Every structure is written in structure tokens, then in C-alpha cells.
Amino acid sequence: MSDSERQDSEDLSFEHLSITLDGHVAVLTIEREEALNALNAALLLELASAFELVEGDAGVRALVLTGAGRAFVAGADMRAFADVRDAFSGRDTALSGQDVMSVLAALPIPTVAAVNGFALGGGLELALACDLRVAARGARLGLPEVSRGVIPGYGGTQRLQRLIGLARASDLVLTGRMVEAEEALSLGLVNRVADDALEGALELAQQCARNAPVALGLAKEALMRGADLSLAQGMEVEADLFGLALTTDDAKEGVASFLEKRDPRFVGS
């Protein structure tokens, strides 16, 4: 994406997605309104391509993910599961969805889900793969798979318990119930509730994007790697990454701007 494209926030061409740019923040909108943005195989492939495109643009320092119309993503397209005949093909279906969520989770920039309307099943799993979540008042979130005879397959059972704890995750997964934005906030499922999810998510993403790009990536890496380690092991990871951060031009600029009492001018190196 060129500087002129970033300035003009022009759309890029996908069948069911659009990407616009607001300064250093990319806004990825899922546009499959006739199906409440439900995930199918084609849409998952587009999402994977879009995530890779965003990662390849050094000018993008944060990503906001949202859905067009009345839903963030209302779930996976159930028609895709009708032809699954054995456990092996079902496993492959789950793994392909997990791969896309993992690409999103591994992006070296802050990612924010702007949850408008429904975020159910695969939609909530997509939001869980983001670093931060902002929900609109009246949004409804949940993993209702057990009410349809299946279980979450795109990482929901694993990411949810790591986010809100086993007991709370068990409540949502085993009942299949939906929660509204305010309860989601109290559970720790979302970070903020806003009158307009996209505006709230953009504000949060812009706040992140003002910081040093390399430091953002290293801080995210420390959080993600440390989550599955002991405290002592996590401290080692943090120390290693802190050492790397200190060698960057942005760290030198951060120190200089502090001493000179001015705003930093980070370049991402």
C-alpha cells in the first residue's frame, strides 16, 4: 500500500472484505451482510490473505477488525458442516479455521475487534484471536455450538479459558448462552463498552499506534509467550526482549524525546 493510498484510505479489492486506512491504523471490515458475516471457507481464505497483507505494510501499526451491518460475525456458516461425514474431515475443518485465527493472533501489531451486534461461535473465536475487544452496547457474544450438537472448533475453548478463566469459560461453553456487552465487560471478555464499537476500537487502536512500532511488537511477543510459561521463565523472556528493544533507534528516540521534553518521532526501527 502506497503513501497515497494510506492517505486517501482507499479500499482494497476483496469479495467479502474491505480494508481502509486511518493514519497508521488499518480497518478491516467483513462484508457478507446477507449472512450476518458468517464465516465460510472462502471468507476464511480472504481473511488470511488480508492479515498477511496488513502484516506486510510497515506503515500499519494497529489493526481494527469489524463487521458490516447488524453483526460482527454471527458464527460459522453451518451449511459448510452439513457435508462432513467423518471425524478426520471434521478435524481438518477445525484446523483450517484455527490456522486463520492463529495468523491473526500472531500479527506483530496490536489488533482490536470492534464488536457490533452479534459475535457468536466462529465470530467470537475471531474476536478472541484479537488482542483487545470493544463491544457496542447491545452487542451479544457467545459460543452456542453445543446447542447445535457440536463444540467450538476455531480455538474458542482454549482462548476463552485463557482470557477469563476456566470456571467462567465453562459457564459460557457448556450452557451455550449469549451475554450482552455489559456482562462481557464484567467477565473480562471485552476490554471496553462503547456507544459505537468502531469509534471506540479506533480510539483504542490509535492510542496503541502512537507508540514505538518495534516496542509494540516486542511487548506483544512478551505477553503472548509468557502466558504459557512459569513466572520465572516469563521473566527471562521479558529480559531478552527488553534487551532487544534497547538496541532500536526508536528506543534512542524515546529516551532523547523524554530528556528534551518533546513528543517522540518513531520510525519503526
Tens-digit pLDDT string for the chain (269 aa):
444 444 433 445 688 999 999 999 999 999 999 999 999 999 999 999 999 999 999 899 999 999 999 999 998 776 766 677 778 777 888 888 999 999 999 999 999 999 999 999 999 999 999 999 999 999 999 999 999 988 999 999 999 999 999 999 999 999 999 999 999 999 999 999 999 999 999 999 999 999 999 999 999 999 999 988 999 999 999 999 999 888 888 888 777 877 877 778 787 67
The pTM score is 0.89
Q: What is the pLDDT of residue 239?
A: 95
Spatial CA neighbour of 180 closest among 142, 143, 139? 139
Indicate which residue of 125, 203, 238, 260 is catalytic.
125
Spatial CA neighbour of 72 closest among 162, 133, 154, 156? 133
Q: At what angle are helices 213-226 and 249-259 packed, to 10 degrees?
A: 110
201: helix, coil or strand?
helix
5, 34, 76, 157 from 57: Cα distances, Å: 12, 31, 29, 32
How many C-beta neighbours within 10 Å does residue 101 have? 24
**CATH numbers and ranges of domains, the chain:** 3-209 (3.90.226.10), 213-259 (1.10.12)
How far apart CA 151 and CA 97 sit, in angstroms, is 13
Q: What is the pLDDT of residue 4?
A: 40
145 is catalytic: yes
How far apart CA 54 and CA 50 sit, in angstroms, is 6
How far apart CA 243 and CA 15 sit, in angstroms, is 43
Spatial CA neighbour of 173 closest among 149, 144, 148? 144
Q: What is the pLDDT of residue 219?
A: 94
Q: What is the pLDDT of residue 240?
A: 93
The cell numbers describing 129, all together, are 484471536
236 is catalytic: no
Indicate which residue of 145, 180, 183, 221 is catalytic.
145
Instruction: Give 90-133 as a DSSP string.
Output: HHHHHHHHHHHHHHHHT-SS-EEEEE-SEEETHHHHHHHTSSEE
Spatial CA neighbour of 61 closest among 101, 99, 6, 98? 6
